[in-house]
Structure 1
Amino acid sequence: MNVSRYPVAIAGAGPAGSALALALHALGVEALLLDRPLAQPFRIGESATPDVAGLLSRLGAGHALDGQPGYHGNLSLWGSETPRLDHFLYRGHGHGWHLDRAGFDQALRQEAVARGVAVLGESGIDAIEPADGGWRLRVRGLGEAEARVVVDAGGRRSPLAARLGIPRCRLDRLQALACHVDCPGELSGYSLVESAPYGWGDAAALPDGRALATLMTDQDLARAQGLEHPADFLAAWRATRLLSERLPPPPRIDAVHAFAAHSGCVSRAAGPGWICVGDALMGLDPLTSSGIACALGDALAAAPAIAAMLDGDLAPARAYAKRADDCFRRYLAERRRHYRQENRWPERPFWQRRAFAPAALAVPA
């Protein structure tokens, strides 16, 4: 039986996986990129911070932002009764982008294909076991394969790390409940963010002329308030001030879509013959708008560590794990600081849970 052999197999072709394939290609390392099917066709929009352009430039993929509308800052109602504008220019940065995530992800995958990376669609790793010098894999749509290094780029469930017995720490049960609606012109270019007793909501314009309205709360609180039901979702939206003024809720919506948005990380970032990147490494609160930047940064940091693994040197992988630990510590401190700025509902469960959130959590090498 023919067995396909690759130096590296990457499970997941989102931004982190595709960017890693590009970074490895630049180092002369061949990789198999496995593009798993989406669980649901609805795609939640995402904001990309100004530093994303520089990261894409390092990958030679700056064109992935072509046609994506500018994101200039946030208008927020948080910790105060007065809205506040946080414009990126105030920080000395350029603008960010409100992404069509499906189009952005596709642009990165297509760039990988154009450079000769082997990309297998509708695929994933169904089984994995150690083999001489690496791993033996059962790959959907390919059959048996071997890889010397495997990469988990499969999202917040860390599916490949779970198969390897690497546990994941989950800090909360944050859930995003979202719908698409027609977008008024005055929303273009900014994200709206507004806190509420049960959590917070946000809204942003999308490249296709619609807007994405999202309510964020913990999974149990969403069930208790019925936010997965269109009528209750609309009622909570109408009860907001900033969101309902700038993006008036429609009379009805057909469905509310739920997405995991919890914070967490794998207990180990890398080990002999494996490594995690993107959300599979650490899942960040959407409040930070840093998921895309972190995914691209992980890819650029992981590529030389993987190249060194192939040469038998694990020291760069340990440095990569130390980087992940430092990044997650900074994220937790910033997350706690931001949530503590809102103290109008200290007795409500959502805010009580954030008030006592940890300030640090190590990701051991």
Structure 2
Amino acid sequence: MSAKHYDALVAGAGPAGCAVALALQKLGVDTLLVDRPLAQPFRIGESATPDVAGLLERLGIQHDLARHRPYHGNLALWGAETPQLDHFLFRGRGHGWHLDRAAFDRMLQQETMASGVAFLGQSGLDGIAPADGGWRLQVRGLGETFARVVVDAGGRRSPLASRLGVARHRLDRLQALACHVDATGELSGYSLVESCPYGWWYAAALPDGRALVALMTDHDLARDLRLEQPDAFLSAWRGTRLLAERLPPPQGIEAIHAFAAHSGCASRAAGPGWLCVGDALMGLDPLTSSGISGALSDALAAAPAIAGMLDGDASLARSYARRANDSFSRYLAERRQHYLLETRWRDQPFWRRRGALPPASG
């Protein structure tokens, strides 16, 4: 692949980046997709809600989700002394999937390349500067490249937009502490959620026979309680009710992996010659299980806005920004309502912080 001019450059090849590159290519937009090296092979974000299949079809992806595990709903011990089952069928929906996330991401990247998108993995942007009619970029492994529009699909840090001076608003310090264990318990196709004084637990069975177990808590609480340490993590796991019953903790764990899980958003969704999608646009609390669905939805909405930019029409980009603002406002209201359902530990810092959250505003 030689250096050249592109209509659009997409930075980040997760679900949002691949999906927007695919959608752009189908609109005839010559697109370069750039991905940075993966920081660590351990991945979370394995839940795909029932609408994901339809979103993949809208992107023209002939998916094979049968290799992944069916995800029928959530079993939660939250705000009550007995577990509550929220089955997707109760809402008139089919099942979702607990994904082999690495395989799912590879599938999206392969579909993207097969569509004709130029893809440069193990890369990244070393520089960006405005140029006549677009942007001059230094792409690792490619050199100087020109793109008329750049798309930030780089995750919760909004790394590309931040280089352009776009602020990122962070609403909390939620962190996911996660590990993989043998799935010896009874998870039965459901995500398990259990609240606790310092946050909440999550578990789901994965296609490879293991289970993902994650503790969601604030960064300072994790530090003070030493929950990043395997022994403290296991001790806290043993103190759960539903989780310890359905998935008994092992004798030991080699390592706990930490991931940012905070809620936040870019201060602007789009501007002259640039646009954000996926977590780079807005990062949502893992309670929603909507990361992949939201990424694909964003991409489908972003592609015509980007095509409009290339044609000199900014109206669709403004509509995209209004859509993002409305979505985040709804999310804030729903998030606040859900956390307020748990009253048993309202005097604890984790829950007091969520109870004090202001109501959503436009």
Matches within 5 A, 1:201-216: 201-216=201-216
Residue 66 of structure 1 deviates from its aligned partner by 4.0
Q: How does 1:122-271 map to 2 (within 5 A)?
A: 122-184=122-184, 186-271=186-271
Give the AA of the match of 1:260.
A
CA contact (8 A) 1:64 1:104 kept: no
Structure 2 counterpart of 1:309? 309
Superposed CA deviations along residues 144-189 of structure 1, whole A, max 9, x for unmatched, are 0000000000000000000000000000000000110000262131
**Alignment partner of 1:7 is 2:7:** yes
Distance 1:358 1:56 in 2: 35
Structure 1 residue 309 displacement after superposition: 0.3
1:357 aligns with 2:360: no
Equivalent residues of 1:329, 1:360 under 8 A apart: yes
Structure 1 residue 323 displacement after superposition: 0.2
Cα deviation, 1:41-79, whole Å, max 9, x if unaligned, reads 211242111111111110011415241111001111000
1:57 — aligned with what?
57
SS for the counterpart of 1:54 is helix
Alpha-carbon distance in structure 2 between the residues aligned to 1:13 and 1:195: 33
How far apart, in 2, do the equivalents of 1:121 and 1:201 lie?
34
Equivalent residue letter for 1:348? Q
Give the Cα separation in 1 of the matches to 2:241 and 2:158: 37
Is the Cα contact below 8 Å between 2:3 and 2:142 reproduced in 1? no
Partner SS for 1:236: helix
2:110 is aligned with 1:110: yes
Structure 1 residues 88-103: aligned runs within 5 Å: 88-103=88-103
> Within the alignment, does 1:288 sit opposite 2:296 as a pair?
no
SS at match of 1:194: strand
Greater Cα shift, 45-54 or 75-84: 45-54
Contact 1:15/1:295 (CA < 8 Å) preserved in 2? yes
Whole-Å Cα distance in 2 between the matches of residues 207 and 45 of structure 1? Answer: 14
Cα contact 1:177–1:215 (8 A) shared by 2: yes
d(CA) in 2 for partners of 1:251 and 1:90?
37
Q: Could you give the per-residue CA deviations for residues 71-114 of structure 1, whole angstroms, max 9, x where no partner exists?
A: 00111100001011111001110001101111111100000111
Compute the RMSD of aligned alpha carbons: 1.1
Structure 1 distance, partners of 2:235, 2:266, is: 37
Between the aligned partners of 1:336 and 1:67, the Cα distance in structure 2 is 35
Equivalent residue letter for 1:266: A
Asked if structure 1 preserves the Cα contact closer than 8 Å seen for 2:77 and 2:195, the reply is yes
Task: Give the ranges of 4+ consecutive aligned residues of structure 1 lying more than 4 Å apart after TM superposition.
Answer: none
Q: 1:147 to 1:327 in 2, by over 3 A?
A: same
The separation in 1 between residues aligned to 2:258 and 2:291, in whole angstroms, is 18
Q: Which segments of 5 or more consecutive residues in structure 1 lack a partner in the other structure?
A: none
Match of 1:38 in 2: 38
CA shift digits 1:321-345 (9 cap, x unpaired): 0000000011101100100000001
How many angstroms apart in 2 are the aligned matches of 1:141 and 1:207? 35
Name the SS of the counterpart of 1:235 in structure 2.
helix
1:4 shift after superposition:
1.6
**Secondary structure of 1:187's aligned partner:** coil
The whole-number CA distance in structure 1 between the counterparts of 2:332 and 2:67 is 33
| CA distance in structure 2 between the aligned counterparts of 1:93 and 1:185, rounded to whole angstroms | 26
160-169 or 30-39: bigger deviation: 30-39
Q: Give, in angstroms, the shift of residue 202 of structure 1.
A: 0.8
Give me the whole-angstrom Cα distance separating, in 1, the residues matched to 2:190 and 2:88: 10
The answer on 1:274 being equivalent to 2:274 is yes
Q: Letter of the aligned partner of 1:346 in structure 2? A: R
Distance, in Å, in 1 between the alignment partners of 2:130 and 2:359 is 37
Identical-residue share of aligned pairs (%): 73
Give, in whole Å, the separation in 2 of the partners of 1:252 and 1:156.
Answer: 31
SS at match of 1:63: coil
Counterpart position of 1:74: 74
| 90-99 vs 64-73, which moves further | 64-73
What one-letter code is carried by the residue in structure 1 that aligns with 2:6?
Y
User: Is the 2:49–2:289 contact (alpha carbons within 8 Å) kept by the matching residues of 1?
Assistant: yes
* 1:360 positional shift: 1.8
1:238 and 1:359 mapped to 2: Cα distance?
35
- Which letter does structure 1 place at the counterpart of 2:19? A
Native 8 Å contact 1:176 1:217 kept in 2: yes
Deviation at 1:3, TM superposition (A): 4.6
- Which amino acid is the alignment partner of residue 141 of structure 1? G
Contact 1:10 1:34 in 2 (8 A): yes
In the alignment, is the contact (CA less than 8 A) between 1:45 and 1:212 conserved in 2? Answer: no
Could you tell me how far apart the structure 2 residues matched to 1:70 and 1:137 are?
42
Q: 1:19 to 1:94 in 2, by over 3 A?
A: same
Which consecutive residues of structure 2, in runs of 5 or more, have no partner in the other structure? none
- Specify the code of the residue in structure 1 equivalent to 2:142: L
Q: Partners of 2:171 and 2:35 in 1: how far apart?
A: 28
SS in 2 for 1:61: coil
Structure-2-length-normalised TM-score: 0.98
**Residues 327/130 of structure 1: CA separation in 2 closer, same or farther (3 Å cut):** same
Q: Write the distance in 1 (CA, Å) between the matches of 2:243 and 2:284.
A: 23
Query: Tell me, what secondary structure is at the counterpart of 2:145?
Result: strand
Task: Determine if contact 2:136/2:146 at 8 Å carries over to the other structure.
Answer: yes
